[in-house]
Amino acid sequence: MITVPVALGDRSYDVRIEAGLLNRAADQLAPFARRRPFVIVTDANVAPHAERLAAQLPGSEVITLPAGEASKSWGHLERLTDRLLELGIERNDHVIALGGGVIGDLVGFATAILKRGCNFIQIPTTLLAQVDSSVGGKTAINSAAGKNLIGAFHQPRVVLIDPDLLDTLPARETAAGYAEVVKYGLIDDIAFFEWCESNGAALLAGDGDARAHAIAHSVAAKARIVAEDERETTGKRALLNLGHTFGHALEAETGFSDRLLHGEGVAAGMALAFAFSARQGLCPEEDAARVAAHLAAVGLPHDLASAGISASGARLVEHMLHDKKMDAGTLPFLLARGIGQTYLDKTVDLKEVAAFLDERPR
Ligand SMILES: NC(=O)c1ccc[n+]([C@@H]2O[C@H](COP(=O)([O-])OP(=O)(O)OC[C@H]3O[C@@H](n4cnc5c(N)ncnc54)[C@H](O)[C@@H]3O)[C@@H](O)[C@H]2O)c1
Ligand SMILES: O=C(O)C(=O)C[C@@H](O)[C@H](O)[C@H](O)COP(=O)(O)O
Ligand SMILES: [Zn+2]
């Protein structure tokens, strides 16, 4: 088993990674057991895995939500918190989030606010959740105004990652999660981006060694950044937002629907961030082209056209004004001086961003 510690003082926890771990989850969960049985929250597509977990935890209750981004909403948050209250959840109980980033973000937020905060455990079941969303404690729902706008920082007590769960994940979802893997290379680790160029196709084809390496490397990278800047106050954690200002705008434009999955928006967003950096003379053109080429090679969107977006630059910039990084009316952007050299730029003129987007082929 690989254990990655997330060092956050009294909120520290372990991320444990091992193939087949769900079959041994009862042992892992025993230290977190309390008087009442565990409550497991999952979505309809993950239900078979939830049943396998519930069978190991006598008396446990499974709450099953609809699959998809639409569950990160006020309505589902209300239904979930009502049900958890009905079940008599106490502050020291541990609610288990078994699912992708949607379930993790929703359960994390529900437990952050329930009784002013109770415990939760992440058992991520998508590649995206195993490499990114289950670690770091960002929890949220979406609002009419945009992505993740209602939320809280709330760390899980432990994260249990079983890469074998990915065997049932649809190929499109695996590719979307892979975008967040590539992100770690683009942020500050060119050697890992080169590893992705050489091994990404094998990972997406189900190669177990490539998958295990990508998960362990990504979790370690995220744990390091989160430990340095838990609440995104110094600019360090904002690096994890590479591609997200563009990506969230594209997701908003497609109505947070399965027209464009989060990871697909991030893929297009990272390619756009590099292309914009190159346009502004900050980053070599070859690096921007190389990023787009790798994303295209694995079948991910890498521009507006491949993301299916026809909206104007002004309209996309309008979505960006809801970005949580907005500060005194300006929007800091994650730009790059090259692959592995992402930085936070506080001087970006949004009119330039709109003009750049209008120049992109539709
Ligand atoms: N909190 C964070 O730090 C963070 C980081 C990245 C993304 N996110 C959020 O995560 C969400 C996206 O997460 P996601 O990509 O995991 O999407 P998701 O949770 O919607 O899961 C994707 C799809 O795969 C299905 N699924 C999940 N596990 C499965 C399995 N093992 N086998 C078969 N089907 C399975 C789900 O039912 C769903 O249909 C977005 O809302 C995004 O904003 C949060
Ligand atoms: O953990 C972080 O920090 C991230 O930014 C990870 C992102 O992949 C994730 O999509 C996050 O939810 C985006 O954060 P937001 O603050 O822009 O909502
Ligand atoms: Zn993301």
Which portions of the chain are predicted below pLDDT 50?
A: none
72 is in an annotated binding site: no
Biggest distance spanned by C-alpha atoms of the chain = 61
Is the CB of 72 within 6 Å of ligand 1?
A: yes
Does the active-site annotation cover 262? Answer: yes
The answer to ipTM > 0.95 is yes
Over the stretch 252-261, which tens digit does the pLDDT of each residue have? 999 999 999 9
Would you state the pLDDT for residue 67? 98
Would you state the pLDDT for residue 35? 78
Q: What's the CA gap between 121 and 291, in Å, rounded?
A: 34
Would you state the pLDDT for residue 36? 79
Q: Which ligand is nearest to the CA of 238?
A: 2
Q: Which ligand is nearest to the CA of 240?
A: 2
Is the CB of 251 within 6 Å of ligand 1?
A: no
- Look at the chain and count its residues: 362
Residue nearest to atom 2 of ligand 2 (CA): 240
Is the CB of 264 within 6 Å of ligand 1?
A: no
Domains by residue range for the chain, with CATH: 2-168 (3.40.50.1970), 171-359 (1.20.1090.10)
Does the active-site annotation cover 362? Answer: no
Residue 54: which H helix or E strand, with range? helix 47-56
Q: What's the CA gap between 214 and 178, in Å, rounded?
A: 9
DSSP string covering 134-190, please? TSS-EEEEEETTEEEEEEEE---SEEEE-GGGGGGS-HHHHHHHHHHHHHHHHHH-H
Is the CB of 119 within 6 Å of ligand 1?
A: no
Ligand 2 site-directed mutation target among 15, 138, 218, 219, most atoms within 8 Å of CB: 138
Tokens 């995104």 map to which residue?
232
Q: What's the CA gap between 122 and 120, in Å, rounded?
A: 7
The Å distance, Cα 266 to ligand 3 centre, comes to 6
Catalytic residue selected from 72, 138, 217, 324: 138
Q: What pTM was computed for the model?
A: 0.98
Q: Which ligand is nearest to the CA of 322?
A: 2
126 is in an annotated binding site: yes
180 is in an annotated binding site: yes
Query: What number does the ligand 1 atom closest to the CA of 176 have?
Result: 15
Query: What number does the ligand 1 atom closest to the CA of 136 have?
Result: 3
Q: What's the CA gap between 104 and 129, in Å, rounded?
A: 8
Q: Which ligand is nearest to the CA of 130?
A: 1
Does the active-site annotation cover 92? Answer: no
Pocket of ligand 2, beta carbon within 6 A: 132, 136, 138, 147-148, 180, 237, 240-241, 244, 324
Is the CB of 133 within 6 Å of ligand 1?
A: yes
DSSP string covering 66-104, please? PSSGGGSSHHHHHHHHHHHHHTT--TT-EEEEEESHHHH
Catalytic residue selected from 248, 294, 319, 324: 248
Q: Which residues are 77's β-sheet partners?
A: none
The Å distance, Cα 47 to ligand 1 centre, comes to 14
